[in-house]
Structure 1
Amino acid sequence: MQAQRIQMDNSLSEMQRKLGSDQGQWRISEAEYLMRVANHRLTLEGDVATSITALEAADSRLRDTHDPAWNSVREEVAREIAALKIAPTVDMAGLSARIGGLIRQVDQLPLRDQGGIPPRPPQASESIESLTAEGFNLRKILDDLWEGFKSMMVVRHHDRPIAAMLPPEQRYFLYQNLQLKLEGAKVALLARDEGLYRDSLRAAAEWIEGNFEMEAGEVQALLAQLQGLGGEVLLPDLPDISGSLRILHARREALEKQGERQ
């Protein structure tokens, strides 16, 4: 929010410099710019808070003209601000944090008829080990990453016999694929792509049901959280705030024509 305000202020300062000393003219131009920002942020990003801030700033510019010719625009701006203040909002940061928490839980889920510790990634070939010190450093990094990864795991003991273990690389990618599906949901969330968001969460749930131990409490808990996230609305119905901009354009055009006749 702070960065967006700084960007708006910088743009307004540049506009004022170009328009020169005609304060009435640059205040109207500033108001128009701010109203465009409000429409852009709301329409493309659903950013209610920034839209309110921009419209309030636009109203301030119109007020400072001390010209009653713009009262009809200000009245429409006031109606739009009031509508935005009661509009539904989406806690994007909160939803993103919830998905991030699920991604961190993936490594702790037990596979179906498997132990609970994910397998070590496929071993590097002997040719890599025989390379220069640069190759050795890469192998050491992989080893260190695995040790840290393994330290977060919990061994699961099952009451029933454990089936034959999957190949290590296959077990590793069962976890990796689930994490990628959740990352996809997070990206879709930030892009406000509701269809892709729901599809990604659904794919993650189906992957869990097909590959992980469904009787485990942590698996059931994660599935419940996925279901809750899937019920979130990313694109709520938002008010139309383009009316004030249309009125401003119409009023300015009328004033310009009036000036030409005089």
Structure 2
Amino acid sequence: MSEATSPKEQETLVQDTTATPASPPVAPAPVASRGNGLAVLALLVGAAGAAAGGWGLWQLQSVEERDRLHAEQLESIRGQAQTLDQGNQALNTRLQALPSADELESRRRQLAQLQGDQQLLNQRLETVLGASRQDWRLAEAEHLLRLASLRLSALQDINSATALVQASDEILRDQDDPAAFAAREQVARSLEALRATVDPDRTGLFLQLGALREQVAQLNAQAPTFDGEGGVLNELAASNGAEQQWWQRWLETLSQYFRLDFNADRNIRPMLAGQALTQVRLALSLALEQAQWAALHGQTQVYNQALQQARDVLDAHFDLDNPNSRALRTRIDELAERPIEVKAPDLSQTLNAVQAYIESKQSARAQFDDEAQAEQALDVEDARP
């Protein structure tokens, strides 16, 4: 009876037989155990075959996936190659459109000339703008000096004129030009002359005269009185030792309105009342108002005439024994002594010096512009082929 064994078992059996020839023979295994071994062996062989088939299938799928990826990469490379070919064609077209070496040299010269012209134009523009700004500032300095001279001649305003001249000097200083030395010297002289000039307080004087006008509106005439008023009646009543009778009281009241004095040694002014008093107050107020105007404008003659007119009205219509009238007259005399006009310095020489500096600066700039234009024309002639 033959047995189906695997090659491995046969080889093991041969090795055992060769190695131990003297070993006793092994008793044969039972038939049932050999059948189970064959079944297990068959299962192992089937499992190995299934595993080999699965591995082969997986390898086949991996190959197909790599082929698909290679195909996509190949397609992408073809597209990139087409794009590169198109770019090369466009580059060739552009290279063919490029100018020649002579044309490039001609364009380079034109570009260099254009850049030079542009730089010259920028310099010219900066010069013009700077010159215009300087001209404006110098014109402002001249205008400030004119305004200061006008303030001195019209209003005699020392403080305003000093501030204007100081501003003009600052403008000349900002020029930082040695040629402005003569003009600044005249400006400095004018400044020192203005600072040494006494500036009267015209505003304060105006307000003081206004306060006097308010006192005029409250000024009243004082009723004349007589020395020994009621002396006879009082003596009569004292001698009789009795009170005054009705006719005595009536006579005393009537004596307050009129009195006959045969021994008068001075003139007695009549009392002002009603419209007459209003007219006198108005005349005095107008005289003081005229003095106010003269004080503001520095008109000494008009100021003195107005205050003299106010004194005349006050002396003619009001009694100086009245405390209000006497105080007003004293105050008018004090204000009449106040100076309102000053001798302002002359700024004409300073203005002429600044004008001469401006003219010299403009002439120098015009000459420089002519030279620059001539040089530019020569450069253009030299740049032509």
Shared fold, TM over 0.5: yes
**Deviations along 1:136-173, whole A, 9 cap, x unmatched?**
xxxxxxxxxxxxxxxxxxxxxxxx95666556211221
Does 2:300 match 1:209?
no
Q: Which amino acid aligns with 1:30?
A: E
**Structure 1 residue 234 displacement after superposition:** 1.9
Aligned to 1:105: 215
Structure (1 or 2) with the greater helix fraction: 2
Aligned to 2:182: 72
RMSD: 2.5
Alpha-carbon distance in 1 for matches of 2:203, 2:257: 41
Pick one of 166, 181, 184 that aligns with 1:56: 166
Alpha-carbon distance in 1 for matches of 2:257, 2:197: 53
Aligned to 1:179: 285
Pick one of 190, 194, 199 that aligns with 1:89: 199
Q: Which amino acid aligns with 1:231?
A: E
TM-score, normalising length: structure 1: 0.69
Alpha-carbon distance in 2 for matches of 1:97, 1:55: 29
Alpha-carbon distance in 1 for matches of 2:355, 2:316: 58
**Structure 1 residue 257 displacement after superposition:** 4.4
Does 2:304 match 1:198?
yes
Does 2:351 match 1:245?
yes
Aligned residues: 200
Q: 1:162 to 1:91 in 2, by over 3 A?
A: farther
**Structure 1 residue 190 displacement after superposition:** 2.2
Runs ≥4 residues deviating over 6 A? none
Aligned to 1:153: none
**Structure 1 residue 252 displacement after superposition:** 2.9
Task: Specify every segment of 5 or more residues in structure 2 that has no aligned partner in the other structure, as ranges.
Answer: 1-127, 226-254, 259-269, 369-385
Relative to structure 2, which stretch is displaced further, 175-184 or 53-62? Answer: 175-184
Task: Specify every segment of 5 or more residues in structure 1 that has no aligned partner in the other structure, as ranges.
Answer: 1-18, 116-159
Alpha-carbon distance in 1 for matches of 2:163, 2:297: 22
Structure ID, larger Rg: 2
Alpha-carbon distance in 2 for matches of 1:169, 1:188: 29
Pick one of 137, 149, 156 that aligns with 1:39: 149
Higher-RCO chain (CA-CA 8 Å, sequence separation at least 6):
1
**Deviations along 1:111-151, whole A, 9 cap, x unmatched?**
25479xxxxxxxxxxxxxxxxxxxxxxxxxxxxxxxxxxxx
Aligned to 1:168: 274
Give percent identity, aligned residues only: 28
TM-score, normalising length: structure 2: 0.48
**In the alignment, is the contact (CA less than 8 A) between 1:42 and 1:48 conserved in 2?**
yes
